Structures are given as C-alpha cells and as structure tokens.
C-alpha cells in the first residue's frame, strides 16, 4: 500500500505528458506549496508518489487514480484542461463528490486557489 501523509490530503492534478520531466516536477512542487499554504491540506503529488517515469501512460493513470481516491480534495493546476489524464481525474473527482479546487488569479495578480465545488 502507498504511504501517504496523515490528515486531510489534496491531490495535485495538472499536465505532465509532453513536458520536460524536471520542468513538470518543479511546476508540481510549486503547486504543492500553494495547496498546503492555502488549504492546510497535505499535497499528494503524483510525480513524487507515482510510478517510475518510464512506465506506460495507462499504468500511470491507474496508479494516479488510486492516489486521487485516497484524498479528501483535488487541486487542478491552470493547464489541467490540456491534459487527457487530468480531465479523467476531474471526471472521477466529480463522480465521487470530492472537494475540487481550481487555480485562479486574484485581481491583484497573485495566485490563489478557489473551491469550485458547490453544494446545493
């Protein structure tokens, strides 16, 4: 079983495929910091907790969905709409009624995340 941090966890979702590995890792780590500072939840980064990068895409998706479903919420980076995998993760998060956060820029130009899940 994958060892994840104790407490509330937030899965970090964004584009990975097609990006330089080190650049994508730096991008995910930046959003890990934002997740923790703005939500207080422990970020679950699929690039850190995930599989070896040489594994096929479908294997990463199965593993990443396993990570996602063990979290309390999902944070979507700005480029998630460019990613087939992140779109699947968004669908699964909605299907299971998870808390969903999307990256937004505030009016002063600073980044902030905002919960977009509405309870009716």
Contact 67, 91 (CB under 8 A): no
In a domain, 1, yes or no: no
Record the pTM: 0.84
pLDDT at res. 52: 86
Full residue range of the structural domain in which residue 33 is found: 9-115
End-to-end CA distance of the chain: 35
Residue 3 included in any domain: no
The reply to whether 105 falls in a domain is: yes
Contacting residues for 39 by C-beta, under 8 A, at least 6 apart:
8, 10, 73, 75, 101, 113
User: Mind listing the pLDDT tens digit for each residue in 22-57?
Assistant: 999 999 999 999 999 989 999 999 999 878 888 999
Number of structural domains (the chain) is 1
Question: Which residues of the chain carry a pLDDT beneath 70?
Answer: 1-5, 105-120
We report the CATH number of the domain holding residue 16 as: 3.40.50
Confidence at residue 118, expressed as pLDDT on a 0 to 100 scale: 31
Q: Is residue 2 part of a domain?
A: no
Element at 68 (helix H, strand E): helix 57-68
Q: What is the pLDDT of residue 119?
A: 24
| Structural domain includes residue 4 | no
Residue 69 resides in a domain: yes
């Amino acid at each position: 079983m994958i060892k994840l941090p104790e407490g509330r966890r937030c899965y970090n979702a964004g584009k990975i495929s097609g990006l330089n590995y080190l650049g994508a890792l730096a991008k995910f780590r930046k959003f890990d910091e934002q997740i923790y500072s703005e939500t207080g939840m422990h970020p679950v980064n699929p690039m850190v907790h995930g599989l070896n990068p040489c594994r096929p895409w479908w294997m990463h998706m199965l593993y990443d969905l396993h990570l996602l479903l063990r979290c309390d919420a999902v944070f979507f980076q700005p480029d998630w709409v460019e990613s087939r995998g992140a779109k699947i993760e968004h669908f699964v998060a909605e299907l299971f009624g998870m808390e969903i956060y999307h990256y937004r820029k505030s009016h002063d130009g600073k980044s902030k995340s905002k919960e977009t899940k509405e309870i009716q």
